[in-house]
Amino acid sequence: MEKEVYEYLCQNHLGKDNLIKNQDLRAKFGIRSDKAMRKVIQNIRESKDYPKMVGSLSGHAGGFFICITDEEKQETINNIKHRANQMLRACHILEWKRGL
């Protein structure tokens, strides 16, 4: 599934101005859940087999796209780092609560 999604994005959704909404991408490939689609994107992002970076925007106007500018690539990296830091912060808080 990852290969098909990656190739489709590379051919049709270059740059954030040409993003595809999550629900539309899921419908195109018959993926039922948002979680399953996010896993496909994660697998693409983490695989060396797919060298182009998949970017995403969240919210109502959000979706997925292939990053074509350095700005889009940096924004994608920053967004993932931000989410990782939020999760790490939550872990520290939970560890603190466990010790109470």
Q: What is the CATH number of the domain that holds 26?
A: 1.10.10
Of 3, 16, 100, the C-alpha closest to 63 is 16
- Residue 75's domain comprises 2-98
Confirm whether pTM is higher than 0.75. yes
pLDDT digits (tens, 9 = 90+) for 54-95: 999 888 888 999 999 999 999 999 989 999 999 999 999 999
pLDDT digits (tens, 9 = 90+) for 15-24: 999 999 999 9
pLDDT digits (tens, 9 = 90+) for 25-64: 999 999 999 899 999 999 999 999 999 999 998 888 889 9
Report how many domains make up the chain. Answer: 1
Instruction: Please report where in the chains the tokens 């689609």 appear, as a residue.
Output: 37
Q: How many CA atoms lie within 13 A of 7 on its CB side?
A: 5
Of 49, 57, 66, 60, the C-alpha closest to 8 is 66
